[in-house]
Amino acid sequence: MGTTQLEAAPEPKYWHLKTVISEALDTDFAVGEILPNERELAARFGVARATLRQALEQLELEGRLQRRRGVGTTVAPPRVGVDVSTTQHAWPGAGEESWQAVDSAADTTPAAVLRLLDAKPGETVHAVRRLRVTDGTPVAAELLYVPAGSVPGLDPAAAPEGPARARAVLRELRQLALDGQDRSVELGSARADDAKELDRLPGSPVLVVTTRYLSGGRTAAVSVATYRADTCRLTFGDSGDLAMAS
């Protein structure tokens, strides 16, 4: 026999594995069910554990699985639709019950944020930490940066940090006229602090939503919100029940 080329499509093992497991999830498992552990799965499929893990990682990235150290791998529920549409000229903290102010500090403002803010050099920037919770589970961690110039009425005698201060900053911000806002979404990996708030490991994939609040011809505030990419689907329209399609 000659050099018969039957193996024309050398599909990676982990890719094929992913497909097989994905189909098994559809037919043989219910949401929340625990899969066999990695060592057993690897043995069952006849691959090294690292290869098996590569397949599981992809499925977790696609929101099909959920893995927790010390616990196990479970079948994830469908992603939650989280509304991030610009609620017509609304400052953060105005009637939105899903966000809760957690803290405020004179944090070190990232250079990338400073570039977006129309802040004078050396101007102090308030950093308000907020957490977005739906159905009791945190879905997003936000850092809202507000230059001191945007909240001139802020009581200097107020607490220098903590939740009370955070609410004070938000209250002052609402005094301004909101001219508009623009928003961008990109992929990122969770910083250590965000990961902790979201109950994830540092470096896990997140959707970073950056919002710029415009008032009086300047950028009055910048929000950097970090959404769990595994469990969230960001929605922009009026109907929040779009299903995933990848």
Partner DNA sequence: GAGTGGTCTAGACCACTCC
Partner DNA sequence: GAGTGGTCTAGACCACTCT
Binding residues for DNA, rule: CB under 7 A, are 10, 12-15, 35, 37-39, 46-51, 53-54, 67-73, 201, 203
Q: How far is the CB of 244 from its own copies (least distance, A)?
A: 6
Assess 243 for contact with its own copies (CB under 8 A): yes
**Nearest-approach distance from CB 164 to its own copies, in angstroms:** 26
CB of 81 to its own copies, least distance (A): 7
Which residues 144-203 are close enough to bind its own copies by CB under 8 A?
180-189, 191, 202-203
Q: What is the DSSP string of 109-155?
A: PPHHHHHHS---TT--EEEEEEEEEETTEEEEEEEEEEEGGG-TT--
Q: How far apart are the first and last CA of the chain?
A: 42
Nearer residue to DNA within complex by CB, 165 or 200: 200
Q: Which does residue 48 touch among DNA, its own copies, none (CB within 5 to 8 A, set by kind)?
A: DNA
Binding window for its own copies (CB under 8 A); candidates: 99-107, 112-120, 125-133, 171-179:
112-120
Question: Rule CB under 8 A: is residue 15 a binding residue for its own copies?
Answer: yes
Shortest distance (Å) from residue 195 CB to its own copies: 11
Nearest to 133 by CA among 199, 186, 67: 199
3-state secondary structure of 186: strand
* Type of residue found at 76: A
- For residue 165, count other CB atoms closer than 10 A to its CB: 21
Q: Of 129, 125, 222, 239, whose CA–CA distance to 183 is shortest?
A: 222
For residue 115 the two structure tokens come to: 């570039």
Do you know the residue count of the chain?
246
For residue 180, the tally of other CB atoms under 10 A from its CB is 10
Please answer whether residues 83 and 240 qualify as being in contact, where contact means their C-beta atoms are separated by less than 8 angstroms: yes
Verify binding: residue 232, its own copies, rule CB under 8 A: yes
Integer Cα distance of 221 and 209 in angstroms: 14
Query: Min. distance of Cβ 106 from its own copies in angstroms?
Result: 18
Which residues sit at the interface with its own copies, rule CB under 8 A? Answer: 15, 18, 58, 61-63, 79, 81, 86, 110, 112-113, 115-116, 180-189, 191, 202-203, 205-208, 210, 212, 222, 224, 226, 229-230, 232-239, 242-246
